[in-house]
Amino acid sequence: MQAILALEDGRIFRGKGYGAPAERSGEVVFNTALTGYQEIFTDPSYAGQIVVLTNPQIGNYGTTPSDDESSKPYIEGLVTREFSPVSSNWRSTQVTDEYLEKNNVPVITDVDTRAIVRHLRANGVMRGVLSTASKDADALVAKARSIRKMDGTDLASVVSTKVQYEWSSETERNETGDKLLPQAIAPGTQQMHVVAYDFGIKQNILRMLARENCRVTVVPAKTSAAEVMALNPDGIFFSNGPGDPEPLHYAQQNVRDLAGKAPMFGICLGHQIFGLALGGKTYKLKFGHHGANHPIKNLGTGKVEITSQNHNYAVDPESLDDATVAVTHVNLNDQTVAGLKHKEHPMFSVQYHPEASPGPHDSHYLFKDFRKMMEEWKK
């Protein structure tokens, strides 16, 4: 099966097709993680994006439900150098080709992913079309140019849960079916109730909260502050998610309404929402941060964390009020703001994924910090 990746600037890449015989469009971004392709597929933050994986060999360990970060893949399409139609791993329950075909995700392989990445780094993220159904490259370029840009688009409410639901250590099981009990929690420690806004939340965030002995109530993106407070939370969590944070005025207002009423923790899109709610501004990065090896400096401890990241927007540090907000973490690759905390209210956020999945575990401590903040608040 032939496949074509067409970019809006007219650049064409031809290769072999796998996955679904389909045509999909979106922003074309690249991810530098060496493992965890299934977690990348199923991260809702990738809604509306075609993903180029820089690791040259993809699909070789298959797929398993245990590695899903949501109920389905959210990527629009996949671009790889080599794609394996077979799998070799004891955990695999389905080969990657069948998995993506079942979920209507087309794949282009046997292309020079290095050239694509260099093109995106030099020219920035751009719109594209990945097709295994058409051979008309000029028509595909025209389609790429007609795609609506992600700027100003609210994708969070699209991928968010439509109904409220509960999550706890009692509902989470490992791949052998055994319950995953809270880790590193002293016997008799009080369970905390966290209300989590779902803007595209990853499953491992819920696992990490549950392992800190938290009962989590997940609510839709547009749930009001009053409805959240009616649930009597010990803490409130604002999740990751796709798209531009600026049009999410409802979420920004909820942050303002909830500030000081309960401890709050934000990750990625949640971090950007915090920045906007506290009077700051956001801007779009040239080609985003997508990978599992980004160095972040904790300005409080001086330590450097290697982190997993997936976002296209950042908070402008010059727009923040120094009297109200403190920058706590900085990305050492480009000095972008990677963490914030309020100087009066118990609320903090980070511009990366401390739950990883995929990625290193350097930042797991942030979930413990959130629990400690809730414990101190209850006192």
The mean pLDDT value for 249-262 works out to: 98
- pLDDT, residue 178, reads 38
Banded model confidence at residue 185, pLDDT cuts 50, 70, 90: low
> What would the mean pLDDT of 291-307 be, rounded to a whole number?
97
| The pLDDT of residue 250 is above 50 | yes
In this prediction, residue 172 carries a pLDDT of 55
Among the listed residues 108, 124, 107, 142, the one whose alpha carbon sits nearest the alpha carbon of residue 10: 142
Whether 268 is a known active-site residue: answer yes
Q: What pLDDT, on the 0 to 100 scale, is given for residue 175?
A: 41
For residue 251, give every residue at least 6 positions away whose Cβ sits within 8 Å of its Cβ, in sequence order, or none. 156, 197, 199, 221, 238, 245, 273, 277
Across 272-357, the runs of DSSP E, i.e. the strands, are 282-298, 304-315, 325-331, 337-342, 347-350
For 335-357, b where at least 16 C-beta lie within 10 A, e where not — what string?
A: ebbbbbbbeebbbbbbbbbbbbb
Task: For residue range 334-376, list pLDDT tens digits in order.
Answer: 999 999 999 999 999 999 999 999 999 999 999 999 999 999 9
pLDDT bin (cut points 50, 70, 90) of residue 277 is very high
Which entry of 268, 271, 289, 294 is annotated as an active-site residue? 268
214 is catalytic: no
Per-residue pLDDT band for 245 (boundaries 50, 70, 90) equals very high
| pLDDT above 50 for 228 | yes
List C-alpha distances in Å: 17 to 78, 262, 339, 369: 10, 50, 40, 46
Residue 379: what pLDDT?
Answer: 85
Helix (H, G, I), strand (E, B) or coil at 370: helix
Write the pLDDT tens digit of every residue in 122-178. 999 999 999 998 889 999 999 999 998 889 999 999 999 999 999 965 555 444 343
pLDDT band at residue 189 using 50, 70 and 90 as cut-offs: confident
Enter the tokens of residue 78.
């996949």
Q: Which pLDDT score is estimated for 357?
A: 93
- For the chain, give the mean pLDDT: 94
Its pTM stands at: 0.94
What confidence score (pLDDT) does residue 186 get?
A: 56
The residue assigned the tokens 């990490």 is 208
Give residue 305's pLDDT: 97
Q: Residue 35: pLDDT band by 50, 70, 90 thresholds?
A: very high
Domain ranges of the chain: 2-146, 156-378
- Give per-residue burial for 124-156: e unless 16+ CB within 10 Å, then b: ebbbbbbbbeeeebeebbebbbebeebeebbbb
Name the class of domain 156-378: alpha beta
For residue 166, the cross-strand partners are 217
Terminus-to-terminus CA distance in the chain, angstroms? 63
Residue count of the chain, please give it. 379
What distance in Å separates the CA atoms of residue 296 and residue 139, rounded to the nearest whole number?
A: 42
- 2-146 is classed CATH 3.40.1350.10: no
User: Please, are residues 292 and 360 in contact by the beta-carbon 8 Å criterion?
Assistant: yes
The single residue listed with the structure tokens 């992600």 is 150
